[in-house]
A and B are shown apart, each in its own frame.
Chain A
């Protein structure tokens, strides 16, 4: 009759072995995860760190080649602030142009996109799905492919070297996304709201202003940020459509640095860092309107 105790001893030994195995596995997976996390951080931050390092270097033409900033200097940022180099002469004016393009794109996209999605979603415009198809098609059009004819068309319209040509391009490329997202989001609102208001004698424009817009606020913010970042992040259209220094945006002006061999790299990286800040700030402050937040919560 020794079988039973022996059996239970085996079973318990088996259990401890299994527990140890599990703990070992968890530890191994924890270490692997941590290693992956470190690799990801390095991969992500290297180019950003590189930017900071060059910007903090005092002599743009003679990079020391060290990995830590040796006597870091904010001279390049000061030069950007005071526009103290002939490349930087119009920097803040050009920064203003960038902001103007971004804000105008945002406002026009939100207004035009919300009107269109209100017409096809809420007012059920006949053949509204054609507008949806046009939007989807435009959304999938690679914009770089359209640039050459676009520049010609802007000449035809008399919009050469005009900020409005750039704004027109971005509004044309951002509204499709706005229409699609707003239409999708608008489906979540019951149609009864509109019907009640209509019975009470509200005109379509009142329904749009008093009911549709307030209820759609989160989606409108998301679409507005999308349009703003699209305008801020693009380079090609600003570079191709703007030619005079006064009308250039920061993105278009940076190309002058890029073309020149004697350009001060540290100034350029300082400009790049300053230019990076607004979208990063907007992104992190408006996280809750993006998928990122859903991931986070």
Chain B
């Protein structure tokens, strides 16, 4: 998990962005300019010392081509790449589709819908660590709650979920969806609420059915927000560490590791920090274009989002 993802959906969170060149109102006087520089300085220092320097240091650590040869020879690396693709592809898209549908559900009126929403937020307010640990035990084969329920209802003993590659990976993805679904539902919900009601009324007057209002009003207006959310969450999911580390623990036999967890395992369990950095850096060819597109989209669109 990227820790930035724990953001409160403050105000217009995704509206952020775009610090445009302000309209000049005459240049600053000398002393004023010095003040402005002094005010911005702490942030610039933090950026250079704790973001840029580690990034450059990381690029330097992973700059030896021999590392990549070693990496590509490791079958665990290939498994991790495939797992990451599945994790990100399924985790992000299923979650966003659900978030979109649920945002429609939460548009309903009625006190009980609001009450459900209050509780629905809970996973997002819960810290990742205890939540994922609970899910880990929930799925425990011997005494986990899931198998208990299964036994009570059907009388069969459930499988040991986390001993299987596919079910382990599925559990990680499910846990990631569980944790982050509320946040993206809220974002899409506020996007839906920003659509002027008059548009729907006009469409209804013109005889548009519910389905057509969805496809001709909601979808076109939400498309940009939806795409930005998907891209942003793809970046976050690529760097997600917690779900895999705490739910399946990367097991059985390291078969459910993703790039973020395998890199740290290389660096600290096997004590090959450079290999770990190189491993993580193989995500860059995907990450950089994503960030590039996002930068463009977020800088240019100062509108709703």
Contact = CB atoms under 8 A, between A and B. Distances in A.
Interface stretch (B66-74, B212-220, B235-243): B235-243
Nearest to A237: B3
A206 to B, nearest CB: 11
Interface in A237-295: 237, 240, 251, 254, 258, 265, 268-269, 272-273, 275-276, 279-280, 283-284, 289-292, 294-295
Interface in B106-139: 106, 108, 112-114, 116-117, 119-123, 125-131, 133-135, 137-138
Nearest to A195: B25
Which bracket fits the contact residues of A?
35 or more
A291 B13 contact: yes
Interface residues of B, number: 108
B294 interface: yes
A251 B3 CA distance: 14
Interface string B33-76: 10111011011101101110111011001000000000000000
A126 B187 CA distance: 33
B134 A169 contact: no
Nearest to B258: A144
B148 interface: yes
Given A112-B43, A153-B53, A258-B133, A146 B189 contact: no
A275 B130 contact: yes
B205 interface: no
A295 B117 contact: yes
A67 B152 contact: yes
A146 to B, nearest CB: 5
Contacts of A118: 39
A223 B18 CA distance: 18
Nearest to B151: A65
B145 to A, nearest CB: 5
A6 interface: no
A153 B8 contact: no
A181 B135 CA distance: 34
B263 interface: yes
Contact of B10 (A115, A183, A222): A222
B167 interface: no
A124 B260 contact: no
A132 interface: yes
A87 interface: no
Contacts of B208: none
B1 to A, nearest CB: 7
A94 interface: no
Dominant secondary structure of chain A at its interface with chain B: helix
Contacts of B193: 294-295
A119 B4 contact: no
A28 interface: no
Contact of A295 (B21, B44, B106): B106
B55 A142 contact: no
A118 B25 CA distance: 16
Nearest to B260: A144
A113 B130 contact: no
Interface string B255-294: 0000010011001100001001100100100010001001
Nearest to A236: B241
8 contacts: A48-B126, A112-B43, A131-B40, A153-B57, A174-B4, A177-B4, A229-B8, A283-B125
Interface of B: 1-4, 6-13, 15-22, 24-25, 27-28, 32-33, 35-37, 39-40, 42-44, 46-47, 49-51, 53-55, 57-58, 61, 102, 105-106, 108, 112-114, 116-117, 119-123, 125-131, 133-135, 137-138, 143, 145, 148-149, 152, 178, 182, 186-187, 189-190, 193, 232, 235-236, 238-242, 246, 260, 263-264, 267-268, 273, 276-277, 280, 283, 287, 291, 294-295, 298-299
